Structure 1
């Protein structure tokens, strides 16, 4: 019997979304859905919402709720990870401490000091999960939704698990490209590859006609001052993506290809756009800030979950997340074409084998089949390598239980290195570790105490 476990099922967005997606998959009817969270009250909140949606659409649902991880994982076929260690309190320090040093991130969940700390906090949970998974359900497929995607998925694989990571940034970016080109839904076809949040749209077509030149022209005419354009705020445009795209326009102008995260995120992964408040303002006139958004909704979780449940109860359709379609395809449904984050087993030939890469994949009853993409354009691969250097160095430091190597890895972050000297990077690292001591793995807590 198929047993699907959501770890971190007390969250606001992913657990209910994924559970509702299960209800849209006929192949998964009869599967057991397990909602696991150490805070069982939060898991029960999700369970009530899921039952409401299932009842509204008369869908059968075999639902289990538990705070006991081993009970949840017993006999699991698929394990979806949707948790964040430390919650808002830890995340606030991820961003606020580096900002005091001049490293100003708006998400800080992929690279940067915040991405490093988020991974480090999660690492002991991954280790405990891996120990239980390898004992209780060694053949289970682990599907990771948590950031930092590349570091997390790479570490899960190193722990001996069958793991892949899922992110919606590539289809989300495809929708932005369609909007910039004035195309309707479903018209654009594309192929992308690289690393998570920095994948490159290597082909962009509509009706069999290449659209790369049209996209470059649209970006120039709307966002680039070299072509007499401005990046002013236009009322009605999305703050997050589409309305302010000078960063991605500048990157396509330089590197030749559009990249897979919003200009806010994309500006965090490179040394070009966030060296001062003025350069940030020039490229991103209106600020999008994930921490402030999280603070705004804090305390409204019950209301937000209830609103989502009511919406899904009125109309149930697939969310576009790939988790449940992948599971359905593996269980015998129609094959699914998706993008996955996986260890680089030759999928991109000019990126390291030890990297976690994001590539297209076909999923069917025989398994997950990533596509061999060959070589990325040299400059695109080069920019990816700056992120990979940080990601692999951080994972190596955690595997080796090496605190100085962790600080050295943080110094590899492209944005941090563009703003701070090594003395300040060491000081910032010490302050971050001290502030997050309650959530650190024991081997690192001992170093902080010393």
Structure 2
């Protein structure tokens, strides 16, 4: 019987979908599920969701819960991480402080100033989680959903190189599915290849029965002026390959759009979008909590059509040996030959009873690799800041960030980082809360 630990199970909207997806496999119907969260109230809701999923699907899992992480992890075969360190309040900070400095963001969880500080407050949790796993479940796979994905995976490789880790994200699946709807082709009949970095990968091949579907997409765009008014359609038309994350996300990873009010209007970019999404998640949790307190009932909103998350598929393959191909974020060991070795990249991978086996992709088209390298420069510097305890690297990362550097001067970037450090306070390691002085830092590096 496979044992699955959920870390951050209080992320109840996501937990509900994963539980249903897992228990919908007959071979996993009697699995052991250990739920962990530091918030007892959220954990109580997660337990109720697990009971509801089991009843709905006729499954009989063994479900336990604990606010003690090590207790939940003990003996796990798979650990699913979906912690959002700092929750909604930290997300609001990630938007309001940069906005006061004149910096626009849309999602703020992957790159940019928001992504940088989300990573820095998440890294201590990841390091502690990895240490616990290596002690109480050393052979377990850590399946990470927490953003910023590339930063988190690259950091884990630096501090826990023996841990088995894969980053999972549904963006490629939903991108391909959406593209197939545009050209009116069943998505289950298409073949595709995607690679790059998480939230900025690319659809390199996309075919239906051997027919390249990109010409059909070109025709659809030409026929629909509104379709062209999206960031990733604009990127596709200029770079030649479709990016795998939403326009809201994609606008933040390049210097071309958010700086210009005219581009925000032309491409309908929803500035500050994630603040509203985060608030909606809070409201949904509050409704679940209220319903549970009132009559012990929870609304049933799971839809089998949405059962597309990778973690349940990985778990099923590990348990049964069923072979399937998914997308994963993992270290670049020559998988993508024109991106840095050791960087966190997103590639196809085969999953079976023996684990997760990433595929060699080769070289990306030069223009795509160039965009990815800008992205990975920021990732490398954020990881270096944490590993080395160097607060200057936080500023270096923000200076290297394409969207930030397009808007702010270097003095403004350093001041913004000072303000973000102060705003997040004790959520950051003490070594990173020091305020560096550029001239003194340069003098020290030369000595």
TM score, norm. by length of structure 1: 0.90
Per the alignment, residue 212 of structure 1 pairs with 214
Determine if the alignment matches structure 1 residue 271 to structure 2 residue 255.
yes
CA displacement at 1:285 relative to structure 2: 6.2
Per the alignment, residue 241 of structure 2 pairs with 257
CA displacement at 1:443 relative to structure 2: 2.4
Determine if the alignment matches structure 1 residue 289 to structure 2 residue 273.
yes
> In structure 2, the residue corresponding to 1:13 is in which secondary structure?
helix
Q: Is the 8 A contact 1:8 1:83 kept in 2?
A: yes
Per the alignment, residue 199 of structure 1 pairs with 201
Instruction: State the distance in 1 between where 2:86 and 2:69 align.
Output: 18
Once the two structures are superposed, the pairs formed by residues 64-143 of structure 1 within 5 Å of their partners are: 64-143=64-143
Instruction: State the distance in 1 between where 2:167 and 2:330 align.
Output: 7
- Could you say what the CA RMSD is over the residues aligned between the two structures, in angstroms? 2.1
Per the alignment, residue 226 of structure 1 pairs with none
> In structure 2, the residue corresponding to 1:60 is in which secondary structure?
coil
Per the alignment, residue 147 of structure 2 pairs with 147
Q: Is the 8 A contact 2:106 2:270 kept in 1?
A: no
Structure 1 runs of 4+ aligned residues shifted over 6 Å read 305-308
> In structure 2, the residue corresponding to 1:261 is in which secondary structure?
coil
> In structure 2, the residue corresponding to 1:411 is in which secondary structure?
helix
- The partner residue of 1:431 within 400, 414, 419 is 419
Q: Is the 8 A contact 1:27 1:333 kept in 2?
A: no
TM score, norm. by length of structure 2: 0.91
> In structure 2, the residue corresponding to 1:147 is in which secondary structure?
coil
> In structure 1, the residue corresponding to 2:400 is in which secondary structure?
coil
Instruction: State the distance in 1 between where 2:344 and 2:207 align.
Output: 27
Structure 2: tracts of 5 or more residues without a match = 437-447
Change (3 A) 1:22 1:317: farther
Change (3 A) 1:286 1:429: closer
Q: Is the 8 A contact 1:31 1:62 kept in 2?
A: yes
> In structure 2, the residue corresponding to 1:99 is in which secondary structure?
helix
Work out the number of aligned pairs and report it. Answer: 429
Instruction: State the distance in 2 between where 1:46 and 1:244 align.
Output: 41
Instruction: State the distance in 2 between where 1:52 and 1:418 align.
Output: 49
Q: Is the 8 A contact 2:7 2:79 kept in 1?
A: yes
The Cα offsets for residues 354-394 of structure 1, whole Å up to 9 and x where unpaired, read as: 21111111101122111111110011111100000100111
> In structure 1, the residue corresponding to 2:406 is in which secondary structure?
helix
Q: Is the 8 A contact 1:90 1:436 kept in 2?
A: yes
Instruction: State the distance in 1 between where 2:215 and 2:152 align.
Output: 36
CA displacement at 1:213 relative to structure 2: 2.0
Structure 1: tracts of 5 or more residues without a match = 223-228, 232-242
Per the alignment, residue 322 of structure 1 pairs with 310
CA displacement at 1:257 relative to structure 2: 0.3
CA displacement at 1:147 relative to structure 2: 0.5
Q: Is the 8 A contact 2:10 2:37 kept in 1?
A: yes
Instruction: State the distance in 2 between where 1:366 and 1:298 align.
Output: 38
> In structure 2, the residue corresponding to 1:178 is in which secondary structure?
helix
Change (3 A) 1:287 1:114: closer
Change (3 A) 1:99 1:178: same
CA displacement at 1:309 relative to structure 2: 5.2
The Cα offsets for residues 115-171 of structure 1, whole Å up to 9 and x where unpaired, read as: 000000011111111221111111111000010010011112222221110001101
CA displacement at 1:254 relative to structure 2: 1.6
The Cα offsets for residues 232-289 of structure 1, whole Å up to 9 and x where unpaired, read as: xxxxxxxxxxx67532222112211000011121111001111132321122166671
Per the alignment, residue 40 of structure 2 pairs with 40
Instruction: State the distance in 2 between where 1:288 and 1:431 align.
Output: 19
Per the alignment, residue 299 of structure 2 pairs with 310
Q: Is the 8 A contact 1:81 1:142 kept in 2?
A: yes
Once the two structures are superposed, the pairs formed by residues 362-373 of structure 1 within 5 Å of their partners are: 362-373=350-361
CA displacement at 1:400 relative to structure 2: 0.2
> In structure 1, the residue corresponding to 2:64 is in which secondary structure?
strand
> In structure 2, the residue corresponding to 1:272 is in which secondary structure?
coil
- The partner residue of 1:247 within 231, 243, 246 is 231
Instruction: State the distance in 2 between where 1:80 and 1:32 align.
Output: 13
- The partner residue of 1:417 within 400, 405, 408 is 405
Per the alignment, residue 165 of structure 1 pairs with 167
> In structure 2, the residue corresponding to 1:72 is in which secondary structure?
helix
Per the alignment, residue 239 of structure 1 pairs with none
